[in-house]
Structure 1
Amino acid sequence: MTVTPSATVPRSSVVTARLSSAAILAYQILLLAAIFIKPEVDPTHKPVSEYAIGHHGWVMVLAFLMAALSYGCLLVAVRPLVRGWSGRIGLVILAACVIGTIGVGVFVADPVDTPLSHLTTRGTVHAVSGLAALVLLPFAALLITRDLARTVTGAASVLRWTAWLPLSGLVLHWLVSFVVPPEGWPPRFLFLTYAVWILVLNTQILSTRLRVLRLPA
């Protein structure tokens, strides 16, 4: 068996990679806007979901939907480039993250101090969707990016270290949560590692030097 180079990255991947980067940057901008619009939400003790509650909550809802759009566009962008079975599993997990993040935006959270016995159905769906997306995305990132590192020329070293970034962020999130309130800064830092992963991966897709190696079936 031989490995032969294919054509450059499909145009659909280039377009959706750009949309993915734009959407994740929009998420970060909207999150910053929510911080200024709702100063009563303490970022050291309150989760970002609190910004979606009450007046001007639509800003954070839109931010969550922008994150879902970014994940979805990334899924479309990398799908033609993935060749191995592990990468395909990663695509399925990423699709689950898209659905989960949509759920986070559509179903607004209950206040963080709401007792478990008083959680609404809407708040429960939000919590389950958010936890699923938060925990699953690092594994999608690892499987997809390592697959691309094996089948894409010109970016293997960058992709290899990028693959571990979200998972490292998740581990650090758990460790830091023993020291500071887990609802405050830890998830904000974790989401930032997800954004960096998306931007780096999309940058590699958009690189004019990036060529895909098509592996025989």
Structure 2
Amino acid sequence: MPSSDVPGVNDSSRRAAGRLAAAAIVTYQLLLVAAVVARPDIDVTHKPVSEYAIGRPGWIAVAAFLACALSYAALAAAVPGRTARVLLVICAAGTAGVGVFVADPVSTPLDRLSTIGTLHVIAGLSALLLLPFAALFAGGRRRWLPLAGLLGHYALSVVIPPEGWPPRLLFLTYAIWVVLTAQHIVQQLRPTVPPRQQRAT
């Protein structure tokens, strides 16, 4: 994997960014599990992830979204390719917006969304739709994984409630791609130790 073409970003910094990306996305998934435990009143089969940000325990879901945003931003600093980095930065900003702009209840009609709720939808869609393209431009053998997840999301949404399991499985697919990509970057940029020269006899 070639060195970064970002001035001032060396291989060591990219390895650190890759590790941070993987750790942050795992934290995101763990926080989502914590949000589910904290809100047993929410039906995971019919309610979106954003619903967990509403109410007193909502900070757990907000923290999850911000952790995910951090992961995308860190991965942007690690991957090669300017287009992939730009798209990942947009995804990071959109995901942060999902956490900052708390969603309206899922039962709210689209024409009655609040300004904050509208910003939440725009931010969420930007991240959801652009990440597969960021992966394609990032390259690698796993670049098709997020796109496959997105297509699977739409296929599942035809047969089961689209607010429930489809987006959860999609975000899990994105998380797996982040971890695998970050791991690959860290391994490829690991410093090589030159073989010891044999002592002259």
Name the TM-score class by shorter chain: 0.7 to 0.9
The 3 A distance-change label for structure 1 pair 112 and 206 is same
Matching residue of 1:62: 63
1:142-172 Cα shifts (integer Å, max 9, x gaps): 111x2xxxxxxxxxxxx32x10000000001
Q: What is the CA–CA distance in structure 2 between the aligned matches of 1:71 and 1:179, rounded to whole Å? A: 30
Task: Describe how 1:130-209 pairs up with structure 2 within 5 A.
Answer: 130-144=124-138, 146=139, 159-160=140-141, 162-207=142-187
Matching residue of 2:44: 43
Asked if the contact 2:76/2:86 (under 8 Å) is kept, the reply is: no
2:71 maps to amino acid: S
1:89 Cα shift?
1.8
The 3 A distance-change label for structure 1 pair 138 and 47 is same
Is 1:126 matched up with 2:120? Answer: yes
Q: What is the CA–CA distance in structure 1 between the aligned matches of 2:145 and 2:136, rounded to whole Å? A: 8
Q: What is the CA–CA distance in structure 2 between the aligned matches of 1:41 and 1:96, rounded to whole Å? A: 30
2:131 maps to amino acid: L
The 3 A distance-change label for structure 1 pair 204 and 40 is same
Of 86, 89, 101, the residue aligned with 2:83 is 89
The 3 A distance-change label for structure 1 pair 6 and 134 is closer
Rg comparison, structure with higher value: 2
Aligned length: 185
1:43-83 Cα shifts (integer Å, max 9, x gaps): 100000000000200000000000000000001112xxx2x
Matching residue of 1:71: 72
1:83-106 Cα shifts (integer Å, max 9, x gaps): xxxx32222111111110111010
Q: Secondary structure at the match of 1:68?
A: helix
Asked if the contact 1:107/1:126 (under 8 Å) is kept, the reply is: yes
Structure 1 segments unaligned to the other structure (5+ residues): 147-158, 212-217
- Runs of 4+ in structure 1 displaced over 2 angstroms? 208-211
Task: Give the superposed CA RMSD.
Answer: 1.7
1:72 maps to amino acid: A
Structure 2 segments unaligned to the other structure (5+ residues): 5-9, 192-201
1:206 Cα shift?
1.5
What percent identity do the matched residue pairs reach?
Answer: 55
Q: What is the CA–CA distance in structure 2 between the aligned matches of 1:35 and 1:186, rounded to whole Å? A: 16
Query: Which structure shows the higher strand fraction?
Result: 1
Q: What is the CA–CA distance in structure 2 between the aligned matches of 1:91 and 1:201, rounded to whole Å? A: 13
Asked if the contact 1:45/1:184 (under 8 Å) is kept, the reply is: yes
Matching residue of 2:20: 19
Q: What is the CA–CA distance in structure 1 between the aligned matches of 2:180 and 2:43, rounded to whole Å? A: 30
